[in-house]
Amino acid sequence: MLSVSAFGVHRSQYQVVRQASPTKVPVTAAADPSFTAVSECHMHGSSVYCIGPDGEDVEVLVDGTEGSATPAPTTEDKPDERHCHFHAGVEHCVGGGSDSHESKRSCSRTDRDYNIPVRIGLLFAILVTSFVGVVIPIVLDPLLPARFGIIFVALKQFGTGVIISTAFVHLFTHSYLMFTNECLSLEYEGITAAIVMAGIFLSFAVDYVSHRLSKMAATTWGPGASYNGDFVTVMVLEAGIIFHSLLIGLALVVAGDSFFITLSIVIIFYQMFEGIALGSRIASIGRAMPRHGHHHHLTPSSEININSDSSGRFSILKATDEPTTTTARMMMALAFALVTPVGMAIGIGVLHRFNRNDPSTLIALGTLDALSAGILVWVGIVEMWARDWMYDGELVEAGAVVTWLAGFGLVAGMALMSFLGKWA
């Protein structure tokens, strides 16, 4: 600010603005000593112009008028820092002031940096990790002596915790974020819960029909008929896992490079834990589990049939020779190991066309996530948690040590998978 005395202009305090370019740049006396005095001022409309020492016109703004002062930014004026991450391929940001112009989401496709070779390499890393995770319980099961069966019991309960946490912390949350996205306007707020409920009902229907078929078999073949639901339970479980694993592969690939490495590390652990959960259930198909936590190695089934054994009891699952059984187990394990890399391959194919904020994309992702959540809620809580602990499972009459270790495994699975929910 400086004093200006000129014809037609009263002596007052002014701010001098250099007209060096179309953009006006404020100049203070301390910054530019040549502007300590100006002369020959004149009016253009409501603006005051004076001739500076270099002969150029400069605009002089009266102190206190609109636009005369630009307040220095303060910490209160700065918006909070925004933190962004990806859920199922859709960027989710928190902080930064949701009402500011910068924080408003654009629903058009956003170009990002994609390192294709790294994504292709990670595809094979995910394939190996998933296969190792799902195969470990299957391989260990026949190798562990009976006295170490408690390890397998704890591993199964760890898997139960992983499945339940996946349903609630990951899939339910992902679906909710899809349906509440700013680019999708839905009048019904409860759509996520409704689709989850539909998934629960579908799982119940499959389980119920299977039990009714076993009752029909009992009526036909005699009162000694019984039903082993392990095969049906594992098939329903794997169906729910395959649904969302396909989305996981797609979501990982379409994430921008700025989030890709962090998300990749999380998904590797995610696939490992979920593989252990599924593999422990595949390994237990058709096996009789005593109620004291000891593990008996019975030959599991590989085909659905109705046959009677020497005791006159019937089973809907026919036991066959061990090579066929091993093949069936490995096929189920391979299906899980392949599905996420397949999703990644699809993502790489549509990488430069995929719009994560397109309404149809949001609806498709949200629906599949919620449906998968419902399936895993039923299988995890009813068929795995409740059955193992309260009905005809191995922990109904287990001792204190077995119960404690199984409970620790259950909580550990829930906690670790919930922790990963911070990033994926």
SS3 285: coil
pTM above 0.75, yes or no: no
DSSP state of 65: S
Looking at residue 352, the DSSP 8-state letter turns out to be: T
Task: Classify residue 292 by its DSSP letter.
Answer: T
Q: Exposed (0-12), middle (13-18) or buried (19+): which is 344, by Cβ within 10 Å?
A: buried
Residue 378: count of CB within 10 angstroms of its CB: 26
User: What is the pLDDT, as a whole number, of residue 391?
Assistant: 87
Q: What region, left, alpha or beta, does residue 92 occupy, with left being phi > 0 and alpha being psi -120 to 50 degrees?
A: beta
304 pairs with which residues across the strands? Answer: 317
Alpha helices in 180-321 (DSSP H): 191-221, 230-254, 257-283
Give the pLDDT confidence score for residue 68 in this predicted structure: 43
Decide if 103 contacts 248 (C-beta within 8 A): no
Per-residue pLDDT of the chain (424 residues; tens, 9 = 90+): 444 444 444 444 545 555 444 444 444 444 444 444 555 676 766 677 777 766 677 776 655 444 444 444 444 444 456 666 665 556 666 665 544 444 455 687 777 778 899 999 999 999 999 999 999 999 888 887 777 788 889 999 999 999 999 999 999 999 999 999 888 888 898 999 999 999 999 999 998 988 888 778 767 766 555 555 778 889 999 999 998 999 999 989 988 777 888 889 999 999 999 999 999 999 888 665 544 444 443 333 333 343 434 443 333 334 343 444 788 889 999 999 999 999 999 999 988 888 888 899 999 999 999 999 999 999 999 999 999 999 878 899 899 999 999 999 999 999 999 999 888 7
Q: What is d(CA 159, CA 376) in angstroms, rounded to the nearest whole number?
A: 12
Return the pLDDT at 93.
64
Q: Can you read off the two tokens belonging to residue 375?
A: 């399936």
Mention every residue, 6+ apart, whose C-beta is less than 8 A from residue 266. Answer: 420, 423, 424
Q: Which residue has the tokens 């100006």?
A: 38
CB 158 within 8 A of CB 360: no
The torsion defined by the Cα of 131, 137, 143 and 149, in degrees rounded to 10, comes to: 170
Query: 131: which 2 tokens?
Result: 């296969």
CA distance 356 to 220: 54
Beta bridge partner(s), residue 91: 86
208 Cβ neighbours under 8 A, 6+ residues apart? none
Q: What is the CA radius of gyration of the chain?
A: 33
Q: What is the pLDDT of residue 92?
A: 63
- Strand 47-51 with 25-27, pairing: unpaired
Question: Cβ distance 191 to 393 under 8 Å?
Answer: no
- Asked if 19 contacts 59 with a C-beta cutoff of 8 angstroms, the reply is yes
Strand bridging mode 9-18 / 2-6:
antiparallel
Are residues 166 and 379 in contact, defined by beta-carbon separation less than 8 angstroms? no
Using DSSP, state whether 307 is helix, strand or coil.
strand
Reduced to 3 states (helix: H, G, I; strand: E, B; else coil), residue 248 is helix
Residue linked to tokens 């700013």: 182
Looking at the chain, the number of H-run helices and the number of E-run strands are: 10, 10
End-to-end Cα distance, the chain: 55
Residue 178: count other Cβ atoms within 10 Å of its Cβ: 27
> Count of CB atoms within 10 A of residue 341's CB?
21
Residue 174: other Cβ atoms inside 10 A: 29
* Beta carbons of 51 and 42 less than 8 angstroms apart: no
As given in the structure block, the two tokens for residue 21 are 């370019």
Q: Are strands 39-44 and 301-308 parallel, antiparallel or unpaired?
A: unpaired
Integer Cα distance of 171 and 270 in angstroms: 13
